[in-house]
């Protein structure tokens, strides 16, 4: 489906809708994005595009040098793989490393150190990217190595992550604080955010259209400002 991005987005969307009756030949939903860059940005963005404009019309656009998700052309397979690797390092990996460090160090485990070993890094850089994924499964070399030491059933289990029920907390015990801190009396950026847009975003969350991480980011920003920027 990558090659389908050579065609205009309208044509791709119409074609996908027309192929509803033949699901085996229907392009994936990913093919309906305007570009490969937008397709990749969407799952990595908590509040982007029109959603950001509706709640923060005065915030402005990202800096000109923010090009993490710029990809309007249709690159070759190899160039796309390298672009994805670059984005993992610049955009996604840093956040994941922080989570892994906090969770593992709490249990006195060193997770990152083995992967920073010079010999391991040397081998990793020589592995063909296409040997790392297949049939919807990633990290194949690591999985194969791990299978030598633990049962395969432990490897194929779904991810559990390090998440906490933020969505439920924002609907319940943190709801009033969110309204107070973010919507009604923000400490900073009051002129940038639209109170009506914020309220609609929160009400949509309560109705089941979850924006957990976006709401939490907004609340964390105001809590940080209250502690570090509020005049004494």
Return the pLDDT at 172.
Answer: 94
Residue 156 lies in a domain: no
Section 52-63 average pLDDT: 77
Domain contains 216: yes
Q: Is residue 115 assigned to a domain?
A: no
Q: Report if residue 40 sits inside a domain.
A: no
Q: Kindly tell me if the per-residue pLDDT of 92 is higher than 80.
A: no
Mean pLDDT, range 154-159, rounded to an integer: 82
Structure tokens at 185: 């009396």
Q: Band the pLDDT of 232: cuts 50, 70, 90.
A: low
pLDDT beyond 70 at 155: yes
3-state class (DSSP) for residue 7: coil
Please check whether residue 26 lies inside any domain of the structure: no
- 202 in a domain, yes or no? yes
What is the pLDDT averaged over residues 115-137? 85
> Which one is predicted more confidently, 128 or 91?
128
Residue 214 lies in a domain: yes
54 inside domain: no
Tell me whether residue 40 is exposed, middle or buried, using C-beta atoms within 10 angstroms of its C-beta: 0 to 12, 13 to 18, 19 or more: buried
Mean pLDDT rounded to a whole number for the chain = 83
The string of pLDDT tens digits covering residues 175-195 is 999 999 999 988 888 888 889
pTM, two decimals, is 0.68
DSSP state at residue 27 = P
User: Could you list the residue range(s) of the whole structural domain that residue 198 is in?
Assistant: 166-228
Q: What is the pLDDT of residues 66-84, one digit of tens each?
A: 777 788 788 888 888 888 8
CA distance 144 to 155: 9
- Between the alpha carbon of residue 163 and those of residues 105, 130, 213, the distances in Å are 16, 30, 11
| Number of domains comprising the chain | 1
């Amino acid at each position: 489906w990558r090659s389908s991005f050579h065609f205009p987005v309208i044509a791709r969307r119409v074609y996908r809708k027309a192929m509803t009756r033949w699901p085996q030949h229907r392009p994936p939903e990913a093919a309906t994005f305007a570009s490969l860059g937008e397709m990749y940005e969407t799952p990595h963005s908590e509040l982007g595009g029109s959603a950001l404009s509706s709640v923060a019309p005065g915030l402005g656009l990202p800096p000109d040098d923010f090009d993490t998700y710029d990809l309007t052309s249709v690159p070759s397979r190899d160039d796309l793989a390298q672009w994805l690797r670059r984005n993992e390092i610049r955009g996604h990996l840093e956040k994941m490393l922080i989570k892994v460090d906090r969770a593992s160090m709490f249990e006195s485990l060193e997770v990152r150190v083995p992967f920073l070993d010079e010999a391991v890094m040397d081998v990793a850089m020589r592995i063909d990217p296409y040997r790392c994924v297949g049939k919807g499964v990633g990290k194949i070399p690591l999985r194969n190595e791990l299978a030598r030491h633990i049962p395969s059933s432990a490897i194929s289990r779904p991810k559990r992550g390090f998440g906490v029920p933020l969505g439920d907390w924002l609907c319940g015990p943190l709801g009033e604080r969110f309204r107070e801190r973010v919507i009604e009396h923000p400490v900073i950026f009051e002129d940038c955010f639209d109170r009506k847009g914020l309220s609609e975003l929160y009400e949509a969350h309560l109705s089941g259209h979850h924006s957990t991480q976006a709401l939490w980011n907004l609340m964390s920003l105001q809590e940080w400002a209250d502690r570090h920027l509020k005049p004494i």
